[in-house]
Amino acid sequence: MAEKSVSKSNIDKSHYSLQRRLLLNTSIVLVFFIAAMSFVLLDSYKTGIRQATFERLYAQFYSLLSYAEEIEAGDLFIPEEIPSDKRFNQYNSGLSALVYDETESLLWKSLSARYDQEQHKVPLPLSLPGEGTLAEITMDETEYFRFHYIAEWESPEGAVSLYHFVILENKRPFDQVISAYRTQLWFWLSIMALSLLVILFAVMRWTLRPIRRAVKELRQIERGLLNTLSERYPQELQTLTESINRFIHNERHQSKRYKETLGNLAHSLKTPLAVMHTALQNKSHDAEELSNICSEQISRMDQIVAYQLQRATSGPQVMMRSMEVEPAMQKITTSLSKVYHEKRLAIDVEIEHGLTIALDEGDFYEVFGNVLDNACKWTESKVRVRGERVNGKVVISVEDDGPGVPEKVRLAILSRGKRLDETVEGQGIGMSVVKEIVAAYNGQIEIDTSELGGALMQLRF
């Protein structure tokens, strides 16, 4: 069943083409339009030919009338041969004339009239005198145009006689002309339709080219050959391509964030692990003290993991909730003193009494844990931490008496993976995390030379 559904899905996808659908729908409309246009043109041509036939037969009637002469009431004389058109004088020429009296009795017929026309009365329509009519009739399986006109003839004595003038013309030439015209019409309309389809196909290919280019670029993005879709797209596709680019950017940013979070997590766990490692190696701690240290650090590790997971999914939490600086700073310095106990560091903490800072607790430990860890790593013997409020901003400075940071690399050490000394253990992650969090709170980082001779890290919030 699964294979059938997959194959059916593939078939549907292969048959679903926007270009094919547009071409098919347009072809249907075009065929309908061509058929309708051919019907209109053919009908108009027929009407024109029929009108020309009526006018020609009307002229033939007047020519015939000019040769007619009434001998007496009800008796009309017309010469046997009509000089105006030789077809009247040639048997079965296709053009014949007949004259009937009021009782519809045959008075005269042209030499061209066939025997069946003479023997069988031509059906006469109901019409008024002086009114010419044209109709199509069939006699002995032959179709004719029948022109009919009732002429009023007044004798010198004042008697009025009515005469039916009938002119018959074989309809076969008319049908042949119409058939030839229909053939030519369909031929040229077919050529025009095919030409329009070719032009339409070319225009459609050109119109859909941006979509094909977008598909091509998406495949290149999948293969890693491009980073984003290009910006040169029509206005109708601009919103779509911008949305796709935002989606690609967010997906890559999220992937990068997950990767960085793993690095940050590993980096943040170093300090509590080092504290536990040091406590385990220090034989002077009794079991209860060792248990307290491990419990405290495990709790700290749990907080770090929760904090990093939170940052991975939602980024730095810029929550304007104040926390006291001094107790949190004391926890950090106490932990670092245990990690670097072999260096017998003197960590001097001078925090303004009651100083608070609008930082998330996890962010605070992440920032100043990294800054103080670097200070303890590079110092010779002394680290000094100062905290105060200056012009409405909280300023916290961390100094050491180590080698300091050369001015030309002060910006570089804030980048991920950059380290001042490649021989010293570390991943170059800590300060980049500090920079990211401080930027999220619209804070500032300044690196300078300390009065102690080493580096000065000053953070403003």
- What pLDDT band is residue 423 in, cutting at 50, 70 and 90? very low
- Give the per-residue pLDDT at 313: 58
Other beta carbons less than 10 A from residue 114's beta carbon: 19
Tokens of 353: 């009494």
| Amino acid at residue number 241 | T
351 phi, psi to nearest 5 deg:
-110, 130
* Lowest-confidence segment of 97-106, 159-168, 311-320 by average pLDDT: 311-320
Cα distance between residue 113 and residue 81, in whole Å:
12
Q: What pLDDT, in 10s, does the model give residues 46-78?
A: 999 999 999 999 999 999 999 998 888 778 888
| Amino acid at residue number 194 | L
Closest CA to 94 of 57, 120, 43, 51: 57
Highest mean predicted confidence (pLDDT) among 167-171, 204-208, 340-344: 167-171
Cα distance between residue 44 and residue 299, in whole Å:
96
Question: Considering the chain, what percentage of its residues have pLDDT values greater than 90?
Answer: 27
Residues 6+ apart with CB under 8 A from 64: 78, 82, 84, 88, 97, 165, 167
Q: What is the mean pLDDT of residues 126-130?
A: 88
Cα distance between residue 32 and residue 27, in whole Å:
8
- Give the per-residue pLDDT at 359: 87
3-state secondary structure the chain: CHHHHHHHHHHHHHHCCHHHHHHHHHHHHHHHHHHHHHHHHHHHHHHHHHHHHHHHHHHHHHHHHHHCEEEECCEEECCCCCCCCHHHHCCCCCEEEEEECCCCCEEEECCCCCHHHHHCCCCCCCCCCCCCEEEEEEECCEEEEEEEEEEEEECCCCCEEEEEEEEEEECHHHHHHHHHHHHHHHHHHHHHHHHHHHHHHHHHHHHCHHHHHHHHHHHHHHCCCCCCCCCCCCHHHHHHHHHHHHHHHHHHHHHHHHHHHHHHHHHHHHHHHHHHHHHHHCCCCCHHHHHHHHHHHHHHHHHHHHHHHHHHHHCCCCCCCEEEHHHHHHHHHHHHHHHCHHHCCEEEEEECCCCEEECCHHHHHHHHHHHHHHHHHHCCCEEEEEEEEECCEEEEEEEECCCCCCHHHCCHHHCCCCCCCCCCCCCCCHHHHHHHHHHHCCCEEEEEECCCCCEEEEEEC
Q: Spell out a b/e string for 353-390, using b for 16 or more CB atoms within 10 Å of the CB, else e.
A: eebebebbebbbbbbbbbbbbbbbbbbeebbbbebeee
Asked whether the beta carbons of 239 and 53 are under 8 A apart, the reply is no
Cα distance between residue 384 and residue 350, in whole Å:
8
User: What mean pLDDT is reported for the chain?
Assistant: 83
Q: What is the mean pLDDT of residues 400-413?
A: 84
Other beta carbons less than 10 A from residue 16's beta carbon: 9
Other beta carbons less than 10 A from residue 452's beta carbon: 19
| Per-residue pLDDT at 424 exceeds 50 | no
Cα distance between residue 183 and residue 338, in whole Å:
104
Q: What is the mean pLDDT of residues 143-165?
A: 89
Q: What pLDDT, in 10s, does the model give residues 342-371?
A: 888 889 999 999 999 988 888 888 899 889
Tokens of 36: 């309708």
Other beta carbons less than 10 A from residue 105's beta carbon: 10
| Amino acid at residue number 88 | F
Cα distance between residue 383 and residue 70, in whole Å:
145
- Give the per-residue pLDDT at 50: 93
- Give the per-residue pLDDT at 311: 65
- Give the per-residue pLDDT at 394: 94
Other beta carbons less than 10 A from residue 347's beta carbon: 22
Cα distance between residue 196 and residue 133, in whole Å:
43
- Give the per-residue pLDDT at 140: 80
